[in-house]
């Protein structure tokens, strides 16, 4: 499917496609391959936890497996934002300085199985906003010989083409704001690279991606009512990674909690590492950069947990300590899994007993 | 669906001599796959987009050189037919929107080896036939993963030595019947071809040119490096594959299978024995040296005889 989408784009038409979770991983060979073709198109991914164990609810490990592919990545928190981001993604992907495919990511179940009102952009306005498709020199046509996606021999040409794609992807950062401005002027909704909520005087900041950030917004409101100076930075553009913007936004804050809805096995939260990379060496970097893993496989993040995270941040700052990475998980959840394991054990013993009687 | 077809090629001198495919490619001397591709390209012409899966032919185009005078797109090992779907759909959209004139339309041709066609790419091929995709598929079948040192594939014949079946008995399995698997999808056309029989090949390519829908070709492709023989023997080995009945030349069309070249029998009623084909190839050397493996040769002969007994009495 991703091969067909990429091939159609390489033949000279505007393409949209969609996938989800295991499907994205099944097509991962082609995700990397078609990005190298430099034929822009837009793909929506519905993020879901990956097997094993197999599950149905949201989690970002699938989309993060495509992180280094060359696709640009927009992460959404609402259905309206998905609709709007698809239009914006065409402009970004097809920009003459970029020419790379784009993924618009939405969270499985929370944004894919539930319903919420969406203001659909007027078709004519949308067509005018994205403009006519220009395949540039990438198309198949008789009398115009063209071999695409061919092999190279040796690391020299390989490095050249790979680095060219990297530079092209980084150029999204310099064209994004202009496109977001135009979108806001046309449709009255603004979608920045990073959504900032209550950040002006925030001492403590949650950094997140995706729809769980709307729970964080609620929590920020409650925490502010309780007297905490808290804010939320929701990263929408993951690739290219907006390093500079993150530095500006987090400079001078007391402490930051990065909540990752993913788990890089043997390392920890992916977004935490990326934010740490952006902040390293900065003079007025936050003293504490804590890592929380939450929302794996759609596991809820409660208001109480947001309160506890901020409390931990404050204590760490006061005591001048770093915080160990933590998985958001309650005693009740542990009891529940222990109960399931107990049932499994009883069943197992019963089967064994029946066998031994025979 | 009936497909009108007109065949203009009756004799060797009717064959085009355009030699469209550029020279200087890194294919091995005596490559049977390249021979088939050459012949096919000359008849199809340059209004073709080749969609390729990982294999020997991927190396035809190495930046910045390409032997193709039309289009070429490399995809991946398992998904070339899906790539053909994308190219065909996009061409149709461009035709419909008048961004492309009917004159500038191109035929979409998948080119893969047997590793992809018989194995990893079979699901994508099946899907393309399900959707009645208007495309041509050429499988150059050299009966193993030739590009990586001739490991066995699902196309490897019984008893052949490969780099992953080096025992004194060779490959224990049997060649998958891809022709029948493809034909079971009821596509517009399925045929077996071989470069060493250019007239038969040319007639089939000409016939399928005037058809629509999935048109599927398997070309047995003698492979000097993989089959271990002197490159000058490629054509002879190809002819012997047909004469001995090892490689039946046939086509599936409108629900029927027709054999296009029945191997001739001598006065005693015997086809050329399979050993004439086997003994020229190093991969079957163990059937003849150090001792002649009568049972092994007879088993291969019996399978070929059984096949033809069902075809002609």
Confidence of residue B1 (pLDDT cuts 50, 70, 90): very low
Confidence of residue A357 (pLDDT cuts 50, 70, 90): confident
Q: Which of B72, B66, B67 is nearest to B52 (CA)?
A: B72
* Cα A317 to chain centroid, rounded: 29
Q: How far is CA B181 from CA A283, B178, B186, B192, B309, in A?
A: 67, 5, 10, 13, 21
Question: Which of B63, B70, B85 minimises the CB distance to A157?
Answer: B63
Interface test with A, best of B27, B48, B61, B75 (most A CBs within 10 A): B75
As a whole number, the mean pLDDT across chain A is 97
Q: Is residue B147 reached through a cis peptide bond, with omega within 30 degrees of 0 on the bond before it? A: no
Chain A nearest CA to B121, separation (Å):
12
Q: Is the pLDDT of residue B2 over 70?
A: no
pLDDT digits 0-9 by tens, B174-193: 999 999 999 999 999 999 99
Q: What's the whole-number average pLDDT of chain B?
A: 95
Measured distance CA(B229)–CA(A107) in Å, rounded: 58
B249 in contact with A, Cβ within 8 Å: no
What are the residue boundaries of the structural domains of chain B, listed by start?
12-311
Phi, psi (degrees; rounded to nearest 5) at B276: -60, -35
Determine the residue of chain B that is closest to A157 in CA distance. B63
- At A340, list the tokens: 């399931």
What average pLDDT score do residues A265-285 get? 97
The set of residues, in sequence order, having a beta carbon less than 8 Å from that of A157 and lying 6+ positions away, is B63
Q: Return the exposure string of B70-99: e unless at least 16 CB atoms fall within 10 Å of the residue's CB, then b.
A: bbbbbbbbbbbbbbbbbbbbbbbbbeeeeb
| pLDDT of res. B313 | 58
CA distance A237 to chain B (A): 28
Q: Classify B65 as helix, strand or coil.
A: strand
Identify the residue with better confidence: B12 or B157: B157
pLDDT over threshold 90, residue B6: no
What is the rounded distance in angstroms from the CA atom of residue A153 to the CA atom of residue B51?
20
Closest residue to A7, CB basis, from B62, B70, B86? B86
Q: Which two tokens stand for residue A154?
A: 């040796």
- Residues sharing a CB contact under 8 Å with residue B179, sequence separation 6 or more, in sequence order: B190, B192, B218, B250, B252
What percent of chain B has pLDDT above 70? 97
Note whether B184 contacts A: Cβ–Cβ < 8 A.
no
3-state secondary structure A317-333: HHHCCCCCCEECCCHHH
**Residues A39 and A9: beta-carbon distance below 8 Å:** yes
Measured between beta carbons, the chain B residues lying within 8 angstroms of A153 are 62-63
- pLDDT band at residue B4, thresholds of 50, 70 and 90? very low
Supply the pTM of this predicted model: 0.94
Residue B193 is encoded by which pair of tokens? 């071809």
DSSP string, B238-251: HHHHHHTTSS-EEE
Superfamily of domain covering B12-311: Thiamin diphosphate (ThDP)-binding fold, Pyr/PP domains (3.40.50.970)
Region B58-85: mean pLDDT is: 97
Q: Is the pLDDT of residue A358 over 90?
A: no
Whole-angstrom Cα distance, residue B51 to residue A39? 16
pLDDT tops 80 at residue B89:
yes
> Does the beta carbon of B70 lie under 8 angstroms from any beta carbon of chain A?
yes
Q: Which residue has the higher pLDDT, B25 or A261?
A: A261
**pLDDT of amino acid B221:** 98
Is B223 part of the contact surface with chain A (CB cutoff 8 Å)?
no
CB-CB neighbors (< 8 A) of A157 in chain B: 63
Q: Which residue of A has its CA nearest to B72?
A: A147
- Put simply, the answer to whether B70 touches A142 (Cβ < 8 Å) is yes
| Cross-chain residue pair A149–B93, CB shorter than 8 Å | no
pLDDT band at A214 (very low <50, low <70, confident <90, very high): very high
pLDDT of residue B312: 81
Instruction: Pick the more confident residue, B269 or B129.
Output: B129
Inform me whether the C-beta atom of residue A297 falls under 8 Å from chain B C-beta atoms.
no
| Sign, CA torsion B146/B152/B154/B155 | positive
Give me the mean pLDDT over the A167-175 stretch.
Answer: 98
Determine the longest span between alpha carbons in chain A, in angstroms.
Answer: 80
Question: How much is the pLDDT for B8?
Answer: 80
Q: Which pair of structure tokens corresponds to residue A144?
A: 């115009």
User: Chain A within 8 Å of B104 (Cβ-Cβ)?
Assistant: yes
Q: Is the pLDDT of residue B3 over 50?
A: no
- For residue range B100-145, what is the model confidence (pLDDT) as tens digits? 999 999 999 999 999 999 999 999 999 999 999 999 999 999 999 9
Per-residue pLDDT at B265 exceeds 70? yes
- Give the pLDDT band (50/70/90) at residue B290: very high
Which one of B47, B63, B78 has the shortest CB-CB distance to A152? Answer: B63
Q: Mind listing the pLDDT tens digit for each residue in B194-212?
A: 999 999 999 999 999 999 9
Q: Is the CB of A148 less than 8 angstroms away from the CB of B99? A: no
* The pLDDT value given to residue B167: 84
pLDDT exceeds cutoff 70 at B228:
yes
């Amino acid at each position: 499917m991703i091969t067909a989408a990429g091939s159609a784009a390489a033949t000279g038409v505007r393409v949209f496609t969609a996938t989800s979770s295991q499907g994205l991983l099944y097509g991962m060979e082609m995700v990397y391959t078609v990005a190298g073709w430099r034929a822009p198109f837009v793909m929506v991914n519905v993020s879901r936890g990956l097997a094993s164990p197999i599950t149905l609810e949201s989690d970002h490990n699938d989309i993060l497996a495509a992180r280094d592919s060359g696709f640009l990545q927009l992460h959404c928190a609402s259905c309206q934002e998905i609709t709007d981001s698809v239009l914006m993604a065409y402009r970004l992907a097809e920009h003459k300085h970029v020419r790379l495919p784009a993924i618009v990511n939405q969270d499985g179940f929370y944004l894919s199985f539930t319903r919420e009102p969406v203001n659909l952009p007027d078709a004519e306005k949308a067509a005018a906003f994205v403009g006519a498709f220009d395949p540039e020199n990438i198309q198949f046509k008789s009398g115009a010989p063209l071999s695409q996606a061919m092999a190279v021999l040796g690391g020299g040409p390989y490095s050249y083409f790979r680095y060219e794609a990297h530079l092209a992807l980084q150029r999204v950062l310099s064209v994004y704001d202009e496109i977001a401005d135009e979108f806001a002027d046309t449709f009255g909704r603004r979608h920045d690279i990073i959504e900032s909520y209550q950040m002006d005087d925030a001492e403590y900041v949650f950094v997140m991606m995706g729809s769980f950030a709307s729970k964080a917004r609620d929590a920020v409101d409650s925490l502010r009512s309780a007297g905490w100076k808290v804010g939320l930075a929701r990263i929408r553009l993951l690739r290219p990674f907006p390093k500079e913007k993150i530095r500006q936004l987090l400079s001078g804050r007391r402490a930051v909690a990065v909540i990752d809805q993913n788990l890089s096995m043997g390392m920890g939260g992916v977004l935490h590492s990326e934010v740490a990379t952006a902040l390293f060496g900065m003079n007025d970097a936050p003293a504490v950069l804590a890592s929380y893993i939450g929302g794996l496989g759609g596991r809820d993040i409660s208001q109480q947990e947001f309160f506890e995270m901020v409390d931990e941040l404050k204590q760490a700052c006061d005591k001048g300590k770093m915080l160990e990475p933590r998985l958001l998980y309650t005693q009740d959840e542990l009891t529940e899994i222990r109960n399931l394991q107990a049932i499994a054990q009883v069943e197992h013993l019963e089967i064994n007993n029946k066998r031994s009687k025979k | 669906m009936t497909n009108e077809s007109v065949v203009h090629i009756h004799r060797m001198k009717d064959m085009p001599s355009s030699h469209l495919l550029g020279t200087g490619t890194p294919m091995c001397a005596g490559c049977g796959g390249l021979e088939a591709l050459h012949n096919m390209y000359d008849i199809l012409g340059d209004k073709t987009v080749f969609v390729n899966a990982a294999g020997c032919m991927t190396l035809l185009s190495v930046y910045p050189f390409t032997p193709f005078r039309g289009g070429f797109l490399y995809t991946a090992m398992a998904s070339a037919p899906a790539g053909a779907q994308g190219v065909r759909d996009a061409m149709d959209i461009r035709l419909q929107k008048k961004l492309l004139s009917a004159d500038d339309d191109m035929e979409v041709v998948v080119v893969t080896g047997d590793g992809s066609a018989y194995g990893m790419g079979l699901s994508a091929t099946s899907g393309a036939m399900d959707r009645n995709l208007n495309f041509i598929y050429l499988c150059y079948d050299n009966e193993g993963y030739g590009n990586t040192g001739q490991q066995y594939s699902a196309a490897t014949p019984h008893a052949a030595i490969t780099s992953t079946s080096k025992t004194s008995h060779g490959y224990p399995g049997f060649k998958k019947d891809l022709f029948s698997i493809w034909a079971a999808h009821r596509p517009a056309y399925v045929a077996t071809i071989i470069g060493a029989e250019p007239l038969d090949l040319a007639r089939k390519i000409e016939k399928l040119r005037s058809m629509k829908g999935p048109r599927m070709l398997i070309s047995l492709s003698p492979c000097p490096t993989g089959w271990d023989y002197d490159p000058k023997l490629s054509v002879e080995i190809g002819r012997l594959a047909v004469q001995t009945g090892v490689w039946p030349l046939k086509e599936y069309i409108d629900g029927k299978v027709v054999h296009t070249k029945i191997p001739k029998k001598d006065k005693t009623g015997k086809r050329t024995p399979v050993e004439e084909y086997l003994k020229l190839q190093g991969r079957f050397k163990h059937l003849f040296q150090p001792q002649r493996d009568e049972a092994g040769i007879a088993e291969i002969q019996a399978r070929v005889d059984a096949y033809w007994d069902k075809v002609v009495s």
